[in-house]
Amino acid sequence: MSAALGTRAWRHAYPAIHRELAKDGQARDWLEVLYWNKAPAKSDARALQSGHSLQTEEGHYGRSVMESPFQTMAEREEFRRVSIDWHRVLEFASAWEDGRMHPGVRAEMVAQQEKQALQRWSSLAMVDLKAEFKRLAGRPDAEYRGKQEESLKAVMQRRLRVLVVMATGAGKSMLFMLPASVSPDGVTVVVAPLNALRDDLQDRCDQLGIPCAKWDGRRPPYWARIVLVTPESAVTKAFGRFIDEKRMLHQLDRIVIDECHVLLESTQDWRPDLLKMAEMTEKGTQVVYLTATLPPTLQPAFLQTAGLDAQTVTICRDESTTRTNIAYQVLEYTRGTLEKVLVELVAAKRRKYGPGAQIIVYCPTVDETKRLARLLQCSAYYREMGSDEEKARMVRSFTLGIEKLCTATNMLGLGLDAAGVRVVIHVAMCPLLLQYVQESGRAGRTGLDSDSIVLRACYATKGGRVEKALGYKLERPAKEFLTGESCRRIAIDKHMDGRQNRQQCELGESKCDICEQHSSGTKRQAVEEEQEEPEPETQADTAAMAAEEQRKDLERAMVVEERRVEIQQRRRTEQAVYELERLEQHLQRWSNACAICMAIQANPARHHWKECPKATKVQIKLMQAKVTSMHHVKWEKYARCYYCWAPQAICDKWEETSIQGAFKTRGMHVLCQYNGVLQQAVAALLAFQQPTCTPWLEQQMQDAAIVHGSNEVRLYKWLGLKIKIGQRDASQMCRLLYAWEEGHVHSHIAD
């Protein structure tokens, strides 16, 4: 039974209802100030120095001409916060959307919010980074490692695009935790690919006293300084609204994509939402990319996948991402004795490191993971093991050191930061060396000596020779690591860091099994110049002047950086539109001429290529074979029109939906204007310009990390990859035609 509420009754009921349902903690606090006479949460220090409160200052002294004489600016901001939160509770559409707000009101709000954001960033310039770093590290003697200081400064200076490649366990998380800890009004969004990683980050933030929350679309954490979100949730409408609100309030400090190398591993079938992470560069805020495993050879492919321009990205890469405290070893065993060898190895390592040491055994399949877990009487971690909550409980148990031993698939290769792990055992070598480096890096994260061991089966042939198992589909770097007769670190450094001059394990590094057998590590040259300690400033006014100058420098740098990126983004947009128009022009030109004539660069005519008078019967037969072979292309979703293979954004058969970037067919009655054109054009180039195209294509396939299989298989896979041309979905097949027509293929040969 219910009763109608009048205005007077509602005025009394509303505050209690809103306080109970409030999504924004600060809005809840202000409700208590307004309706329950609670004291404001904070006062302005400047006003207190003058002997009165902030409310007194704003109520009786000079104020902006835009302010009402009956409200202070601070009160107006809090009233707005309460109003916005009430709209969220009722799930009303935002009145801030374009076209729903008076331009003058919007301009005033934007100016005020920009001023607050600038003040916040200016105050960050005054922070003693080293002192805050030591506080968060929990050690007064804590020192920066590798590129940590350089990366931290790039983040704090608000470089809009930052890529950080640092060794596993080198403190990448500090690059967003420290800025968040000193920015109480800002928000840092961290996109983490695994639940285990998000749970671990939340635990660490809780220990450091940094307000942190995992994203919950039903109750957005407006109060948190760090919001942890999955790639799948990051591209939802609910999270998009959250981001847009924080951005409009100028509270969105940065977006961090942790373990960003997984963008290269995603496909249309496996975690396709990872591919949408490129949209994060369009959110108008700083984006920081963190990883420990991005070889220099894959960096161009990553930048392309992430939608980044190499000229606008600040790249902080450790000279060496190798883990000096891990001893790498390949242990050979007789086939059929794996179980016995594994049990003895685990027992030996427990004796070496003590009963408190943790051990991870990585297995190539789920079945072997479960089988060896039963053998070792420990937990097994794999994708299908249970719900997300069950996985989180198991990982948390291992992270806290409750469990000392587990078997796992590569699902546990990311996101596990257990301080007690001293030994990582691989039952078989990983197909990719970067995967092995990531998984072996779970050991020794506190800097203690640790072991990474790969088991390799041996067997005797009928002729009496001993053969060693090579592994299943190993890439070349992984094969070099497994079979090399020189230092194990050579293969790791060469592939992961591009280092070519390593000869053996060096002084200060745990020796691999080969170096342990042959010789001691050599001492690295280290020349340190003595520097005089600068005399501390003795004049307070000098320090104040320096701080003020630093603040002004930061403001100027921020403005210049934002304008520079804005100009570059505008140029990229203009270039993108140009590229799409040029591609359509090229398709139009090829549609009006014989494909063979176009490919051999003869005077093009409108006859069909099957009737080309400039081609011999053998050449026409070759052309027919190439056209037919185009049907072997492995297409990624949305890379083409399904009928003519041109981009959907160009083809007349498709129209754009209300969802940006999504298309739908107009119906079977509408025909493609370029039916067969792209297929015939690329077939002709491959048939008659192969010597010119092959070097360019080989470089493109290497940049896309397509290195396995025959040349034909690799080509068909590359041609079907989805890319962006003019900020629209297209295929590499389109890119080949575009590059040929623009002269890029020829210039590659000239270079």
- What 3 state SS string does 470-490 have? CCCCCCHHHHHHHHCCCCHHH
Same domain, 303 and 383: no
pLDDT tens digits, 9-19: 776 677 777 76
Same domain, 343 and 283: no
Residue 17 lies in a domain: yes
pLDDT of the residue at 290: 92
Q: Both tokens of residue 206? A: 């809780």
Neighbour-count burial for 110-125, b at 16+ CB within 10 Å, e otherwise: eebbeeebbebbbebb
Same domain, 302 and 217: yes
What's the CA gap between 391 and 402, in Å, rounded?
15
Same domain, 577 and 686: yes
Residues 89 and 218 sit within 8 Å (Cβ to Cβ): no
pLDDT tens digits, 174-219: 999 999 988 888 899 999 877 767 877 888 888 888 899 988 877 7
Mean pLDDT, all residues of the chain: 79
Closest listed residue to residue 483, CA positions, set 545, 519, 539, 433: 433
Global pTM exceeds 0.75: no
pLDDT tens digits, 703-740: 888 888 888 999 999 999 998 887 788 999 999 999 99
Same domain, 364 and 394: yes
What's the CA gap between 62 and 56, in Å, rounded?
11
- Is the pLDDT at 6 greater than 60, yes or no? yes
Amino acid at 100: R
Same domain, 293 and 166: yes
Residue 103 lies in a domain: no
pLDDT tens digits, 471-487: 667 888 898 998 888 89
Closest listed residue to residue 299, CA positions, set 654, 670, 588, 705: 705
Which residue reads 């005077």 in tokens? 603
Element (H, E) at 162: strand 161-165
Same domain, 166 and 248: yes
Residues forming beta bridges with residue 479, ordered by sequence position? none
Look up residue 327 and give its DSSP letter: E
Closest listed residue to residue 30, CA positions, set 15, 48, 45: 15
Same domain, 449 and 313: no
Closest listed residue to residue 201, CA positions, set 182, 227, 220: 227
Closest listed residue to residue 167, CA positions, set 41, 30, 323, 326: 323
- Is the pLDDT at 527 greater than 70, yes or no? no
Domain that holds residue 366: 326-518
Residue 205 lies in a domain: yes
Closest listed residue to residue 480, CA positions, set 468, 491, 472, 492: 491
What's the Cα-to-Cα distance from 429 to each of 254, 444, 483, rounded to whole Å?
38, 20, 11
Residue 539 lies in a domain: no
Which residue reads 């048939």 in tokens? 687
Q: Residue 193's domain is classified under what CATH number?
A: 3.40.50.300
Residues forming beta bridges with residue 729, ordered by sequence position? 724
Non-local (6+) Cβ contacts of 2 within 8 A are: none
Same domain, 640 and 743: yes
What's the CA gap between 439 and 360, in Å, rounded?
9
Is the Cα torsion angle 710, 716, 717, 723 positive or negative in sign? positive
Length of the chain: 751
Counting residues of the chain whose pLDDT is more than 70, the rounded percentage is 72
Q: Which of 45, 74, 92 is the last residue of a domain?
A: 92
- Is the pLDDT at 33 greater than 70, yes or no? no
What's the CA gap between 694 and 523, in Å, rounded?
45
What's the Cα-to-Cα distance from 176 to each of 78, 173, 280, 294, rounded to whole Å?
28, 6, 16, 20
pLDDT tens digits, 47-57: 444 455 545 54
pLDDT tens digits, 644-658: 999 998 898 888 775
Residue 305 lies in a domain: yes
Residue 97 lies in a domain: no
Q: Both tokens of residue 646? A: 């041109």
What's the Cα-to-Cα distance from 157 to each of 124, 554, 561, 705, 745, rounded to whole Å?
9, 7, 10, 33, 40
| Burial of residue 65, with CB atoms counted within 10 A of its CB: 0-12 exposed, 13-18 middle, 19 or more buried | exposed
Same domain, 577 and 626: yes
Residues 43 and 104 sit within 8 Å (Cβ to Cβ): no
What's the CA gap between 263 and 272, in Å, rounded?
9
Structurally, the chain folds into a number of domains equal to 4
Q: Which of 92, 112, 145 is the last residue of a domain?
A: 92
pLDDT of the residue at 678: 94
Q: Following DSSP, what letter does each residue of 577-617 receive, concatenated? A: HHHHHHHHHHHHHHHTS-HHHHHTT----SS-GGG-TTS-H
Is the Cα torsion angle 420, 423, 429, 435 positive or negative in sign? positive
What's the CA gap between 503 and 488, in Å, rounded?
10
Residue 246 lies in a domain: yes
pLDDT tens digits, 605-628: 789 999 999 899 999 999 999 999
Same domain, 303 and 352: no
Same domain, 303 and 361: no
What's the CA gap between 605 and 467, in Å, rounded?
62
Q: SS3 for 387-413, per residue?
A: CHHHHHHHHHHHHCCCCCEEEECHHHC
Residue 104 lies in a domain: no
pLDDT of the residue at 64: 43
Look up residue 22 and give its DSSP letter: -
Q: Which of 479, 497, 518 is the last residue of a domain?
A: 518
Element (H, E) at 447: none
